[in-house]
Structure 1
């Protein structure tokens, strides 16, 4: 592979030895400090420009500097000691006559005197040296600060224009409407503007789906509403299901009951009043107040609350035994379900849900769809699940181009209406463009005709008065690519034979497990949470060893694994390019950027700390990391979590084009229908294949709901 010395000799064959020694000395000593090709150009570009005279322009020299930067980076990643082969040794004694110490020798590169007969401008040499020295000092200062300063993430903020009249009505308590209208507001995240001059109208009792590409600000908008950074009338209660319930000794059922604060306050007051009467310390007013409390408890149907809470928990997958367990005994995923159950039980005026299906299995999603269809107050839900949106929402709010557009109907209706709108806007744009061109032709034709001067002036004024013509903004198509430059493998590829597995001998998780997959496989594993889906994946990958039975895998099988907890596997303190560089050293920055670009992480996104990316963008970085070694078999555990719908469609297309095998665990009906040819149901310590695919599985679940009284 060419070094920067080779590149220098090849591109500048006429360079004299003094300048050659100087340039290679600068690159050799300062190579670790350069961050990109532009900094190499700043250091030596002026010198190279003089050397090349008229043979190379500025762009040519910049390209050469970029090539040399790439070789420097490659050498730095292979080892801290860089070896450079020169035609002749550099005599440090000529650079520093005193030669007092090694440190002074190194300093000599900044102090080097030039012969007076050189063809290069000495001032440019001094300027280049000064730039590189200053960069070196800044880099040292930056490194010391970075070591002592923790990563600070940007914060979101919101602002809006509100009328004094609206404020007065809200503060007076006379506003009893449960409609929400927020006009002319902005939302920012750090220095990035997410929404500008936007409007949001939420009619009471309607269910809104908030959609848009990853990273545009959907989650941030929910947080601004929940924190009331955007003005929502004070009498409207808001609940945002964002964080899992804190674990303590409280039973799951009791935790849900406590979320109804009004009921809890009335019951507490009832206890205090009865205790006062029983102790003989009452003043005679207790019985009147108790009558009022009993009336309110009856009005809110407090006696039915435990049954209602139990139904909600059961629908979300909590067995009767689990409902009595302390919240601290549940995993994070189950505590998120508990947070959702508390919100559903509390029945706020505005319920904010952010990807509620992420923590649910297919059974719980179907139950939630049915439950929300009869929801009486307002919902604003961010979801990537196309079928969930079609089943639940009455309206769509589309976030794009820093604004919000509203559409009546479900997601399918949104797609159709949006296409019609775009066609109409395109026709209007073309008509306006044609009209402008017609006026311009008249102006150009008679511009110098004195008899038509008045008409030309009139046409010019007309052209100025026309509204600004903007082309239709179309969202770029999302594409994902899974490289498949590998040889076909002859079966068997991957199989489990009579496998038995358990973590605890008293609780056998699987027995008699017989599964097989090949490079043609497109398999989806479904089942309730806790049924062992992730365990099956780990047995297939060889991460878990069967208690008995055999796992067989082709010797050339190369598995790429996407974990549902992929964020835990990413270094959040570095940018995406650095993350790939650390994981797969020895490649150029362009290669890392190209890999990330294949998953939509381009430009400035690739140099941002991973921690500052949205959930969907982190997933794309995880995809880029997973596919870089070019596996021939993918095992994907909940790959759609946090992805927008366009990316899910692109994921489906990429998996269908991929020539290797695929096994995935997913609750996303759309992805399952687009990709999977086989459905494996994980339940009761077995994994069985369903011939009827997802339709048959859905029918089975609906029948279970009917038997259990949830439908």
Structure 2
């Protein structure tokens, strides 16, 4: 049976990412790897794949173990290859001849449309690129499959397709998944590892049940710490009293006993380790407020593709203050084009036919790729120039959002996708809007950040129109649900109706 064992494994990068990690991954395991951005998930996956070495500890692989890692980014060398050739070249050179049937079988397994199979990877959507990388790893028939943020860029249809594929994969080889998608982790895993700098914690359950157990674990640890610190305080008081007795009476025995009790208190205090606390960068939203009841009204509006093709029609839509509208639809239906149309209407000097906007509307806009951020500027320059907070205050708000001084001075192009997302959301908050247009705002945001964003949207009583594939996020914030279907925008009772069509 193929397996992989970690013995006291740790990685230090300036500070510890994780340490003393002991874990066995074997047949049938579907392990969810959970941690904040930059906390070591990708590093651990590379160590498991043999592409990086841990700072200390040992990783023991069963003899001949074949591990395939699907990283987040498409290698440059693959972009000009067709979908078919990406899979074909993944096979060993001596196995490629006469193996087109294997390629076709895997393409069929991933339900790849015929017209996409001959296209180069760079011509495919981000979602199909992700599936191509997974299919490329799968065709090698690995003994263990490692997936790093596999749901990034996937629309709901492909997300359900990936979930179905993982759950129906006809083999027992283990899969390790690093993801921030809570529903995906629940659907596809049976174990969860919470990666932490001091003590990582694992449970034989999928994410949400494991999260409940983790909270109970942390509560018990907190109670034990408080009990230990109370005992430390009592011992130190006793030691001080004995020391005073020894000094006043000249008793050496009392002084010796005092020193012994103090050493015991010091040793006990060492066992009362500080508890781990998630420290996501602050994601906070503001609400400038308005007295207008309806902030935007649309009537007989047509949404078009960049090439002028008609995508769908909007007979009538009023957006009232406090409404949180989620727009659903299949990939390519025009959801992002709809938000871009609204963005142009709300920021242009002249109005657009069929779209009326309240004069008191103050817009905040988030593009799913954070293209509103200038790549060459630094995070500090963006905050300083756009919002005129002054140098010291600009650095302070960036620090609150999780940016160290070093990262504040890096060009935005060199920030990780998660850091770009946090900067985009920070800029959104600092603009103090009363109306939000958000296209995939949780892309690359970790679980604590997603939950914080949900809470801020609710607490700010934000008015917003949102496009998102994060089912937990949609459920948490949505008050109205619009579906783009058969060339029209219609209102539905909830997202479940749309999800059923994806599964059917």
Equivalent residue number for residue 25 of structure 1: none
Equivalent residue number for residue 239 of structure 2: 443
* Mapped partners of 2:228, 2:336: distance in 1: 57
Secondary structure of the residue aligned to 1:215 is: coil
Q: CA deviation digits over 1:22-78, x for unaligned, max 9?
A: xxxxxxxxxxxxxxxxxxxxxxxxxxxxxxxxxxxxxxxxxxxxxxxxxxxxxxxxx
Instruction: Specify whether residues 494 and 346 from structure 1 end up closer, same or farther in structure 2 by C-alpha distance, changes over 3 A only.
Output: farther
1:648 shift after superposition: 0.6
1:633 shift after superposition: 0.9
Instruction: Specify whether residues 186 and 205 from structure 1 end up closer, same or farther in structure 2 by C-alpha distance, changes over 3 A only.
Output: same
Aligned counterpart in structure 2 of residue 228 of structure 1, from 45, 51, 62: 51
Q: Which has the higher strand share?
A: 2
* Mapped partners of 1:266, 1:459: distance in 2: 71
Secondary structure of the residue aligned to 1:359 is: coil
Equivalent residue number for residue 88 of structure 2: 258
* Mapped partners of 1:383, 1:510: distance in 2: 33
Equivalent residue number for residue 647 of structure 1: 449
Secondary structure of the residue aligned to 2:200 is: strand
Equivalent residue number for residue 362 of structure 1: 156
> Do 1:492 and 1:553's aligned partners in 2 also have CA atoms closer than 8 Å?
yes
Instruction: Specify whether residues 421 and 490 from structure 1 end up closer, same or farther in structure 2 by C-alpha distance, changes over 3 A only.
Output: closer
* Mapped partners of 2:396, 2:267: distance in 1: 45
Equivalent residue number for residue 38 of structure 2: 215
1:439 shift after superposition: 3.1
Structure 1 stretches of 5 or more lacking a match? 1-176, 271-296, 705-711
Q: In the alignment, is residue 426 of structure 1 matched against residue 222 of structure 2? A: yes
> Do 2:363 and 2:434's aligned partners in 1 also have CA atoms closer than 8 Å?
yes
Q: In the alignment, is residue 554 of structure 1 matched against residue 358 of structure 2? A: yes
* Mapped partners of 2:475, 2:121: distance in 1: 36
Instruction: Specify whether residues 467 and 653 from structure 1 end up closer, same or farther in structure 2 by C-alpha distance, changes over 3 A only.
Output: closer
Equivalent residue number for residue 340 of structure 1: 134
Could you list the runs of 4 or more consecutive aligned residues of structure 1 that deviate by over 6 angstroms after TM superposition? none
Q: In the alignment, is residue 350 of structure 1 matched against residue 144 of structure 2? A: yes
Instruction: Specify whether residues 654 and 486 from structure 1 end up closer, same or farther in structure 2 by C-alpha distance, changes over 3 A only.
Output: same
Equivalent pairs, count:
483
Q: In the alignment, is residue 241 of structure 1 matched against residue 39 of structure 2? A: no
Which deviates more, 382-391 or 606-615? 606-615
* Mapped partners of 2:343, 2:397: distance in 1: 25
Instruction: Specify whether residues 368 and 581 from structure 1 end up closer, same or farther in structure 2 by C-alpha distance, changes over 3 A only.
Output: same
Q: CA deviation digits over 1:531-558, x for unaligned, max 9?
A: 211111112222699xx96222223322
* Mapped partners of 1:329, 1:477: distance in 2: 38
* Mapped partners of 1:610, 1:226: distance in 2: 30
Say which structure, 1 or 2, has more relative contact order (CA 8 Å, 6+ apart): 2
Q: CA deviation digits over 1:568-591, x for unaligned, max 9?
A: 44345554222222334x431233
* Mapped partners of 1:347, 1:357: distance in 2: 21
> Do 2:312 and 2:484's aligned partners in 1 also have CA atoms closer than 8 Å?
no
Q: CA deviation digits over 1:306-346, x for unaligned, max 9?
A: 2442131x2xxx43433454545324443233223323444
1:218 shift after superposition: 2.0
* Mapped partners of 1:346, 1:684: distance in 2: 39
Q: In the alignment, is residue 311 of structure 1 matched against residue 130 of structure 2? A: no
Q: In the alignment, is residue 515 of structure 1 matched against residue 317 of structure 2? A: yes
Equivalent residue number for residue 56 of structure 2: none
1:441 shift after superposition: 3.5
Q: CA deviation digits over 1:97-155, x for unaligned, max 9?
A: xxxxxxxxxxxxxxxxxxxxxxxxxxxxxxxxxxxxxxxxxxxxxxxxxxxxxxxxxxx
TM-score (norm 2): 0.84
Secondary structure of the residue aligned to 1:356 is: coil
> Do 1:494 and 1:552's aligned partners in 2 also have CA atoms closer than 8 Å?
yes
> Do 2:88 and 2:103's aligned partners in 1 also have CA atoms closer than 8 Å?
no
Q: In the alignment, is residue 694 of structure 1 matched against residue 495 of structure 2? A: yes
1:390 shift after superposition: 0.9
Which of 1 and 2 has greater Rg? 1
> Do 1:398 and 1:405's aligned partners in 2 also have CA atoms closer than 8 Å?
yes
Instruction: Specify whether residues 685 and 468 from structure 1 end up closer, same or farther in structure 2 by C-alpha distance, changes over 3 A only.
Output: same
* Mapped partners of 2:316, 2:85: distance in 1: 41
Equivalent residue number for residue 298 of structure 2: 495
